Amino acid sequence: MERIQEIDFQDQRLIPIWERVQRGERIERKEGLLLFQTWDLMALGKMADFAKRKKISGLSGLNGDVAYFIIDRQINPTNICVYTCKFCDFAVRPWDEKAYEMTLQEILSKLSPEIREVHIVGGLHPKWKFDQYLNILREIKVHFPTIQIKAWTAVEIAFFSKIAKIPVEKVFERLLDAGLNTMPGGGAEVFSERVRQALFKQKIGAKDWLRIHRIAHGMGIRTNATLLYGHMETYEERVDHLVKLRELQDETGGFLTFIPLTFQPGHTGLVKRQASALEDLRTLAASRLLLDNFPHIKAYWVMLGEDTAGVGLHFGADDIAGTIGEERIAHAALAKSPVGLTRERLLEMIRGAGRTPVERDTYFNILRVYNGHHIPPPWPRVGRV
């Protein structure tokens, strides 16, 4: 049973929302907007922390103090991309001096058996065939059968469907045969046609992104979801994005985690500076409260920075991401965080935030609870949708 805490509200408009949260009722669009507009950040954090504790204890049987992490490795097989999204500092043209294409041997050399999940996303290469992308998964499964593969965003799935001239369902069939476990949540950016036209008009919009995830869920594939914020989107557009994700989750139940991604301005010139830590914490908390049907909310240390991610564990987040190994996308946009972290550093961050570290797999199955815990294994198992 979660304890009901007293909150000293500075912004009285939040009180009816808090009453709804305590009763386990859904927050509507208008209230969601207030979560982004309020100046009462501490009350917002406390409400989100309450919702997170309740969610996690309901899901795992662990108490709500835990924070998940994973031993993972990010692989970005190429940065060559046929598109030119205005917010992207990662993609280059084939003739650019920074252009690279990893060979299968290079990809395999980055992996080792203790890695639990490999996260693969990259550019849309003008010459690679769909088979080349499939081979990456096949080879990983042959050499590292215990590694779970989280690969290719909905934007990449749409691209594979186009280059292979097959429907999305067939793309997924082949990816599953090749060893796909789960899908990352990137490519959604923000579900606003206004922003898409301005920043990434070559990429699929909300309708197709949601359609592809719906198909994935229907085929048993668990996926994740993101929101890119801190560029030109409005609070109304953030709320609309979250509500659309919530609606699809009501329908399918296939999402595992939501990851708010704070925009890294890099060399894009779109905004002068990255969103503030306050804005990051507000977005984490509002996401936890609005996405009442999402199991997990991630404080992605790569973009937030280690300190804000740690504080985020008190603002509704229950996951701090993983070791990553070698992050390239945010760092092409001058992210200040390290390119990877050790298990020890993640444990230190989680413990430093007063949380109990829980090591997980790609499905959020619990592999180990650190610091001891009163709930003995086996813990509940999660798998395909």
Sole window of 54-62, 77-85, 109-117, 317-325 interacting with ligand SF4 (rule: CB under 6 A): 77-85
Quick one: 155 or 349, whose CB is closer to ligand SF4? 155
Quick one: 333 or 366, whose CB is closer to ligand SF4? 333
- Hey, which residues between 168 and 227 contact ligand SF4 (CB under 6 A)? 200, 203
Quick one: 143 or 162, whose CB is closer to ligand SF4? 162
- 36 lies in the binding site for ligand SF4 (CB under 6 A): no
CB 232 within 8 A of CB 298: no
Rounded to whole angstroms, the Cα distance separating 198 from 200 reads 6
Distances (CA, A) of 350 to 125, 295, 340, 354: 38, 19, 16, 7
Quick one: 144 or 200, whose CB is closer to ligand SF4? 200
- 88 lies in the binding site for ligand SF4 (CB under 6 A): yes
CB 56 within 8 A of CB 66: yes
Smallest distance from ligand SF4 to CB 99, Å: 12
- Residue 57, classified by CB atoms within 10 Å of its CB into exposed (0-12), middle (13-18) or buried (19+), is middle
Smallest distance from ligand SF4 to CB 122, Å: 7
Quick one: 81 or 286, whose CB is closer to ligand SF4? 81
- 333 lies in the binding site for ligand SF4 (CB under 6 A): no
- 91 lies in the binding site for ligand SF4 (CB under 6 A): yes
- 124 lies in the binding site for ligand SF4 (CB under 6 A): yes
Paired residues of 298 in beta bridges: 319
- 77 lies in the binding site for ligand SF4 (CB under 6 A): no
Rounded to whole angstroms, the Cα distance separating 219 from 215 reads 6
- 81 lies in the binding site for ligand SF4 (CB under 6 A): yes
Token code pair at residue 170: 């067939």
Out of 107, 155, 332, 341, name the contact with ligand SF4 by CB under 6 A. Answer: 155
Quick one: 155 or 320, whose CB is closer to ligand SF4? 155
Smallest distance from ligand SF4 to CB 204, Å: 10
Rounded to whole angstroms, the Cα distance separating 17 from 201 reads 36
Smallest distance from ligand SF4 to CB 236, Å: 24
Rounded to whole angstroms, the Cα distance separating 323 from 301 reads 10
Quick one: 34 or 88, whose CB is closer to ligand SF4? 88
Number of residues that bind ligand SF4 (CB under 6 A): 12
> What's the per-residue H, E or C state across 135-195?
HHHHHHHHHCCCCEEEECCHHHHHHHHHHHCCCHHHHHHHHHHHCEEEECCCCCCCCCHHH
Contacts with 89 (C-beta within 8 Å, 6 or more apart), sequence order: 264, 266, 267, 268, 332, 333, 334
Peptide bond into 113 cis (omega under 30): no
Sole window of 83-91, 233-241, 336-344, 361-369 interacting with ligand SF4 (rule: CB under 6 A): 83-91
Out of 45, 123, 260, 295, name the contact with ligand SF4 by CB under 6 A. Answer: 123
Quick one: 122 or 322, whose CB is closer to ligand SF4? 122
**End-to-end CA distance of the chain, in Å?**
28
What residue ranges bind ligand SF4 (CB under 6 A)? 81, 83-85, 88, 90-91, 123-124, 155, 200, 203
